[in-house]
Amino acid sequence: MNEEFYAFWLSFCTRVPLGKLWKSVNQLGSMEALYYAKEKELSLFTEKEYAYIRQMKECQGIRKLWEEQSKQDYQFLSYKNVLYPSKLLELKEPPFGIYYQGKEEINPNSPVVGMVGARNCTIYGSEMAYRIARELGRQGIVVVSGLAAGIDGASHRGCLDGGGYTLGILGTGIETIYPKENYNLYLEMRKRGGILTEYPPETKPLPMLFPRRNRLISILADFILVVEAREKSGSLITVDFALEQGRDVGVVPGRPCDALSMGCNRLLQQGAKCILTPEDVMEAVLDSGRFVNCKTEKPKVNTDLGLAPKEKMVYSCLRLEPQFIDDILCQLKLSVWEGIQILTELEIKGIIKQNPHHYYYRVQ
């Protein structure tokens, strides 16, 4: 058995704190030694943990899975492997191994932005995340996020639509699609982006496993961007990790009265970078000094949409965040049916959208 296998085996021991495993590997000298260690040598662990480790050792399934690994779609990389992302080694307790599936030829020098935010986000939040990520994708910047619902999903989607490479860090096993609404996104990312996890296959979504993966997002990124977070939210855990790891943090501001922007605005107050446009992100990433050869041409903004005067009037009433149709109609000095018609027309032209039904917002 080679080192890879012992790392593979260790990745299954998810119920033992990673810190203790590392400590004992360091004490015993190697992963192999831990695998064959007797109970006396493992005084570090509680009785329960030891029983668990022994159970894992006797588990035939792991061995079988290892032997059949070549048949699987994913690849397993131990921390000793040359292909293992070197950034992860900056962690105090890096994963013993990671499971990866997706594109293989990635430019290692491209800057990486981690995007995090609320799962139950507003349309404003998901639109902002989408646009920024799309622009980053166009500029060849990698977007890393957690493949959860809400901001995470919008960021991945945006980056893919911009033609970029995006990496999803899962809090589950590599073949578990969670949440279900990201089904299509997951499949697309396997082809055009990448998926990475430290948890063994068939790990179910368990609440205790999710915070741990956040440290991978922040360590892989050069810059962390928060879009919409409540005052007590999982995204702020990522921010804490990022600050510990010496990453810069940027925040998309929100209105002070929005509970969903409270966490974001608080971060701004504490001195986080205020991000208003995708260019702000690019500047911030370049500022970190690591990247010189990055193209920084400003995207052209097409302001003339070629609208009729009445359409222009309706369009000017709309904002980025969705507005209820009654409120729009009340602002307009048009008859109700005329207002409805123009809204439909603009929607068909693709410059405004409605979501949910009868809430309109701009898209360009």
Partner 1 sequence: MYSHVMSGTIFGIQGLMIQVEADVSDGLPGFHLVGCLSNEIRESGERIRTAMRNSGWYLPPKRIVVNLSPADVRKAGSGFDLPIAIATLVSMGAIPQERIERMVFIGELGLNGAILPVNGVLSVADCAAKSGYQYLFVSKENQAEAAMIPQLKVIGVENVAETVELLGNEERLENAIFYRPQENMEHCQETTCDFRDLKGQPMVRRAMEIAASGMHNLLMTGPPGAGKTMAAKCLTGILPDLSFEERMELTKIYSVKGLLAKQEGLIYKRPFRSPHHTITASSLIGGGLIPKPGEISLAHNGVLFLDELPEFSKSVIEVLRQPLEDKKIRINRLNHTYEFPANVMLVGAMNPCPCGCYPDRNRCHCSMLQIQNYQGKISRAMLDRMDLHLTLQPVSYGEMMQEADGEDSASIRKRVEAVHNLQQERYRGLGIRFNSQLTVEGMKAYCRLGREEQDFMKEIFEQKKLSGRAYHRILKLARTIADMDNKENIELPHLMEAVAFRVSGGGEDE
Nearer to partner 1, 41 or 181 (CB): 181
Q: Is 129 in the site for partner 1 (CB under 8 A)?
A: no
Residue 352, CB-side half-sphere exposure with 13 Å CA sphere = 29
Among 23, 63, 266, 358, binds partner 1 (CB under 8 A): 358
Interaxial angle between packed helices 262-269 and 234-244, expressed in degrees from 0 to 180 and rounded to the nearest 10: 30
At closest approach, how far in Å is the CB of 130 from partner 1?
Answer: 10
d(CA 309, CA 258) in angstroms, rounded, equals: 34
d(CA 248, CA 98) in angstroms, rounded, equals: 25
**C-beta of residue 127 within 8 angstroms of C-beta of residue 52:** no
How far apart, in Å, do the first and last CA atoms of the chain sit? 56
- Which residues neighbour 292 within 8 Å (Cβ) at sequence distance 6 or greater? none
Nearer to partner 1, 243 or 340 (CB): 340
Helix (H) or strand (E) holding 359: strand 359-362
What's the chain's Rg over C-alpha atoms?
Answer: 24
Give the footprint of partner 1 on residues 21-60 (CB under 8 A): none
- Measured in residues, the chain has a length of 364
Task: Name the one range near partner 1 by CB under 8 A: 11-19, 179-187, 212-220, 283-291.
Answer: 179-187
Q: Is 259 in the site for partner 1 (CB under 8 A)?
A: yes
Among 11, 122, 238, 265, binds partner 1 (CB under 8 A): 122
At closest approach, how far in Å is the CB of 183 from partner 1?
Answer: 9
- CA-wise closest residue to 268 among 233, 225, 223, 234: 225
Q: Is 340 in the site for partner 1 (CB under 8 A)?
A: yes
Q: Is 227 in the site for partner 1 (CB under 8 A)?
A: no
**C-beta of residue 193 within 8 angstroms of C-beta of residue 167:** yes
Nearer to partner 1, 291 or 361 (CB): 361
At closest approach, how far in Å is the CB of 296 from partner 1?
Answer: 31
Nearer to partner 1, 72 or 331 (CB): 331
Among 188, 258, 280, 283, binds partner 1 (CB under 8 A): 258
Question: Quick one: CA dihedral 7, 12, 18, 22, positive or negative?
Answer: negative
At closest approach, how far in Å is the CB of 231 from partner 1?
Answer: 13
Binding-site size, partner 1 (CB under 8 A): 36
Q: Is 348 in the site for partner 1 (CB under 8 A)?
A: yes
What residues make contact with partner 1 under the rule CB under 8 A?
Answer: 119-123, 149-150, 179-181, 257-260, 322, 324-327, 329-330, 336-338, 340-341, 343-345, 348, 354-359
